[in-house]
């Protein structure tokens, strides 16, 4: 009888602890728009400064050097995953790569030159992105995240335009 009471108390405790942890994690879902990053406003016009003037975009030569044809499949996954962070909300994000047409084009070339296990997945994602179609970026992120064995940081939604802008400023502002 004593074992049943102890077991019941332990189960209740674990249930409450699990529920509380779940609620706490859910409450941490704060948008990219809140927090310590402020938009960059042109003092003369009072308008937001264009992203092109905020970010130091790599040259074609830098892109080719950074993403060589001997790129490993793991590095391909890491790069696509890091790029997707610009478009999606996830409680945790590791890695940040600013999305440019040059990087997408280069990754498509690298993918074509290699026989990656998941080459078709990368091709589909990058081809959509090259057409400025990020409507499936949550699914794209989670597909790569799952290939990498992800357990924390599943994407749950697309970022709003404002959230994406602040994400870009936070991670890519040219200082």
pLDDT tens column, 6-62: 665 755 555 555 544 444 333 333 344 445 678 888 788 888 888 888 888 899 999
Q: Which residue has the higher pLDDT, 125 or 45?
A: 125
CA-to-CA dists, residue 121 to 29, 44, 45, 142, angstroms: 29, 46, 44, 12
Tokens of 58: 């790599």
Report, as an integer, the average pLDDT of 108-137: 98
Whether residue 71 contacts residue 119, with contact meaning beta carbons closer than 8 Å, is answered with no
Instruction: Give the tens place of pLDDT for each residue, 81-93.
Output: 999 999 999 999 9
Q: What is the pLDDT averaged over residues 92-116? A: 96
Whether 58 contacts 100, CB under 8 Å: yes
């Amino acid at each position: 009888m004593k074992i049943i009471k102890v077991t019941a108390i332990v189960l209740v405790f674990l249930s409450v602890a699990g529920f509380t942890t779940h609620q706490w994690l859910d409450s941490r879902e704060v948008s990219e728009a809140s927090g310590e990053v402020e938009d960059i406003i042109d003092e003369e016009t009072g308008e937001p400064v264009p992203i092109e003037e905020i970010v130091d975009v790599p040259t074609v030569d830098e892109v080719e050097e950074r993403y060589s044809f001997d790129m490993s499949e793991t590095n391909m996954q890491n790069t696509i995953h890091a790029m997707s962070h610009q478009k999606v909300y996830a409680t945790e994000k590791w890695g940040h790569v600013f999305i440019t047409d040059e990087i997408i084009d280069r990754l498509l070339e690298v993918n074509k030159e290699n026989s990656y296990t998941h080459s078709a997945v990368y091709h589909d994602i990058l081809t959509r992105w090259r057409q400025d179609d990020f409507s499936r970026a949550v699914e794209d992120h989670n597909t790569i995240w799952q290939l990498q064995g992800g357990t924390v940081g599943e994407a749950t939604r697309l970022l709003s335009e404002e959230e994406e802008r602040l994400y870009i400023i936070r991670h890519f502002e040219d200082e």
